[in-house]
């Protein structure tokens, strides 16, 4: 906010947001800066400029923020997940100063996942802090609450992906009733891990990107009746997985890009799961337009140097 909020006076001088980009309002985030390239494009991480600049190497000229503490790996992952889920601002509008008469629409609604979490929270208790700490020490699991008013948690291994194996997932059975999101991306888990994942009754999101998953054990997920998102990007699944995947009727999003699922297999998935967004091809973002926020920032950096 120090660099990207509404114009304001500081030390007798008027300070404008850098590159014209404001992040202090929902409408401004969707509008973008001087190039009007949106900082966030709901459900499209590749086109979301804000995610791009916080994910760059720290020595890159465009890395943000240029000063102060960078976002942690967990925060970057949370930003990515929020964009993938539709960048829902909930009831937050932010600073309405300068909002144009016609602005990008920000829907204020009861969020579907909030309703789902409320239902799934029934009958379970919040986790004991000692249990969470023990899991982190024992298997490297990062356990994060999904909110202040829910006992549901998200689990990932972002700080130790290379050390996470099937045994680590088995250790999570101690808190299986509370797990609603599980990120195993880039870990060493194999098909054997799904035997334990399938025992998590409140699981809604499962990320298996770039793991050793194949077609072998996907039927183990049949017990996850509320699974709404499954990411198999970069795995070895093939068309043999299609009959198993079509049984997951609760899915809203299914990612099978960079796998061996053929166009025919994709067609079968989309036909059998008409209400599911099936992503089967990696869409590369277009070349940044000259005069965009990135070019403007580079120009200003060059002038400052």
Contact criterion met (CB below 8 Å) for 174 and 131: yes
The three-state secondary structure class of 174 is helix
Q: Which two tokens stand for residue 133?
A: 């700490």
Backbone angles phi, psi at 189, to 5 degrees: -65, 150
294: CB partners within 8 A, 6+ apart? 49, 53, 62, 288
Predicted local distance difference test score (pLDDT) of residue 105 = 55
The per-residue pLDDT for range 38-96, each reduced to its tens digit, is 888 888 888 888 888 888 878 777 888 888 888 888 888 888 888 888 888 877 888 88
291: CB partners within 8 A, 6+ apart? 35
Nearest CA-CA partner of 196 in 220, 212, 177, 228: 220
pLDDT for residue 259 is more than 50: yes
Assign 299 a pLDDT band (cuts: 50, 70, 90). Answer: very low
Predicted local distance difference test score (pLDDT) of residue 76 = 86
Distance of CA 114 to the CA centre of its chain: 16
The per-residue pLDDT for range 155-202, each reduced to its tens digit, is 998 777 788 999 999 999 999 999 999 999 999 999 999 999 999 999
Predicted local distance difference test score (pLDDT) of residue 267 = 94
pLDDT for residue 305 is more than 80: no
Contact criterion met (CB below 8 Å) for 250 and 272: no
Predicted local distance difference test score (pLDDT) of residue 292 = 46
Rounded to whole angstroms, the Cα distance separating 278 from 283 reads 13
The per-residue pLDDT for range 139-165, each reduced to its tens digit, is 888 898 887 778 999 999 877 778 899
Nearest CA-CA partner of 241 in 261, 270, 221, 271: 261
| DSSP 8-state secondary structure symbol assigned to residue 71 | P
Rounded to whole angstroms, the Cα distance separating 301 from 305 reads 6
116 exposed, middle or buried (CB, 10 Å; 0-12, 13-18, 19+)? Answer: middle
Rounded to whole angstroms, the Cα distance separating 82 from 192 reads 29
Exposure string (b/e) for 216-232, b if CB count within 10 Å is 16 or more?
bbbbbbeebeebbbbbb
Strands 179-183 and 153-156: parallel
If you compute the radius of gyration of the chain from its CA atoms, what whole number of angstroms results?
A: 21
The three-state secondary structure class of 185 is coil
Nearest CA-CA partner of 197 in 216, 215, 181: 181
Beta bridge partners of 253: 229, 277
Nearest CA-CA partner of 172 in 130, 146, 210, 142: 142
Backbone angles phi, psi at 182, to 5 degrees: -135, 120
Predicted local distance difference test score (pLDDT) of residue 302 = 40
Assign 113 a pLDDT band (cuts: 50, 70, 90). Answer: low
């Amino acid at each position: 906010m120090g660099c990207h909020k509404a114009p304001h006076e500081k030390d007798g001088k008027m300070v404008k947001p850098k590159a014209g980009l404001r992040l202090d309002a929902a409408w401004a985030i969707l509008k973008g800066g001087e190039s009007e390239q949106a900082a966030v494009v709901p459900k499209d991480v590749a086109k979301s400029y804000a995610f791009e600049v916080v994910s760059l190497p720290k020595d890159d000229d465009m890395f943000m923020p240029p000063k102060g503490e960078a976002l942690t790996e967990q925060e970057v992952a949370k930003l990515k997940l929020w964009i993938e889920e539709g960048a829902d601002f909930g009831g937050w509008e932010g600073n309405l100063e300068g909002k144009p008469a016609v602005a990008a629409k920000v829907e204020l609604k009861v969020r579907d996942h909030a309703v789902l979490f409320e239902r799934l929270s029934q009958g379970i208790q919040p986790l004991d802090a000692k249990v969470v700490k023990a899991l982190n020490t024992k298997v490297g699991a990062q356990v994060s609450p999904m909110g202040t008013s829910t006992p549901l948690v998200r689990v990932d291994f972002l700080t130790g992906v290379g050390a996470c194996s099937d045994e680590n997932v088995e250790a999570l059975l101690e808190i299986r009733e509370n797990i609603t999101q599980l990120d195993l991306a880039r870990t060493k888990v194999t098909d054997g891990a799904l035997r334990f994942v399938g025992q998590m009754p409140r699981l809604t999101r499962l990320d298996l990107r770039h793991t050793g998953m194949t077609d072998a054990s996907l039927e183990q997920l049949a017990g996850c009746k509320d699974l709404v998102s499954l990411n198999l990007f970069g795995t070895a699944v093939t068309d043999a997985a299609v009959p198993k995947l079509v049984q997951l009727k609760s899915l809203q999003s299914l990612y099978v890009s960079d796998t061996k699922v053929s166009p025919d297999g994709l067609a079968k998935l989309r036909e059998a799961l008409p209400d599911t967004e099936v992503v089967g091809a990696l869409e590369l973002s277009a070349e940044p337009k000259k005069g965009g926020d990135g070019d403007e920032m580079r120009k200003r950096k060059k002038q400052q140097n």
